[in-house]
Amino acid sequence: MKTYVDQMNQIIRLGDKPNRIISLVPSQTELLHDLGLEEEVVGITKFCIHPNKWFRTKNSVGGTKNVNFDKVKSLNPDLIIGNKEENSKEDIEELKKIAPVWMSDIFNLKDALISIAEIGKITGKESESLNLSAIIQKEFKILKEAVSNSPKTTVLYFIWNEPRFVAGKNTFIDDMLTRCGLINLSSTERYPEVEKGLSPDYIFLSSEPYPFKEKHVAEFQKTYTTSKIIIVDGEMFSWYGSRLKFAPKYFMELLK
């Protein structure tokens, strides 16, 4: 038996390399695909839209917060991969009765890179995960150099409408904004309802989890009359798997 410690400091024990994996997190599902685990992944959630082939063909085990336990049992997994923020504690405790559960807990790029390395190690794809991490770090280094002398501008990043929730401090999105050289005006941790009276240089309306569209720009402009309002790709700001290799280039184009 091999022993691993996940990002919630929980110990899991596995026999050999897992051959029947269920992923409960869209960004980690994409990571498993890019590590080459086509045959090993037997179940994903209905929100795991990338890659499209897996979305169309892999077994669905429900949502990220309302897992179908009977479906999970029927797939006979030897490893389940989840995330503290995206999955409910109640679901995870129930899933532990079925198979070992490895949990990520991610607040910043460093956490994401640790998660990628550990998932690579636990699935027998250590070299692939290390290569991926090297690419991601190289791209973020380029981003850092690109924004090093840029003027500091302020932003509010909206994740929901009515009520209007934003990404606050101590979130992965906040870390991405900081790496873009932007100052997040939300002073509250996690995902608070937006504070009144703020006038950021930019308003970012995320494409997920709320699907902001161009029609919302005019609505927000009535409140934030001096801010430039932009629809942004939420996957680039909040997915902490292999999509990170594309994020810095997207950020640099956005900042232009």
Q: Give the CATH number of the domain where residue 237 resides.
A: 3.40.50.1980
Q: Provide the terminal-to-terminal Cα distance of the chain, rounded to the nearest Å.
A: 51
Position 182 in a domain:
yes
Shared domain for 17 and 122, answered yes or no, is: yes
- Extract the tokens encoding 143: 């981003």
Position 134 in a domain:
no
Shared domain for 99 and 180, answered yes or no, is: no
Give the residue numbers spanning the domain of 228: 147-255
Is residue 153 within a helix (H) or strand (E), and if so which, with residue range? Answer: strand 153-160
Position 131 in a domain:
no
Position 225 in a domain:
yes
- Extract the tokens encoding 75: 């797939």
What does the pLDDT profile of the chain (256 residues) look like in tens digits? 899 999 999 999 998 889 999 999 999 999 999 999 999 999 999 999 999 999 999 999 999 999 999 999 999 999 999 999 999 999 999 999 999 999 999 999 999 999 999 999 999 999 999 999 999 999 999 999 999 988 889 999 999 999 999 999 999 999 999 999 999 999 999 999 999 999 999 999 999 999 999 999 999 999 999 999 999 999 999 999 999 999 999 999 999 8
- Extract the tokens encoding 206: 């995320």
Shared domain for 102 and 173, answered yes or no, is: no
**Beta carbons of 48 and 29 less than 8 angstroms apart:** yes
DSSP reduced 3-state for 118 = helix
The identity of residue 143, as a single letter, is L
Model confidence pTM above 0.75: yes
**Beta carbons of 102 and 122 less than 8 angstroms apart:** yes
Q: Residue 182 has what pLDDT?
A: 97
Shared domain for 23 and 71, answered yes or no, is: yes
Give the C-alpha separation, 59 to 138, whole Å: 35
Total number of domains constituting the chain: 2
Shared domain for 66 and 158, answered yes or no, is: no
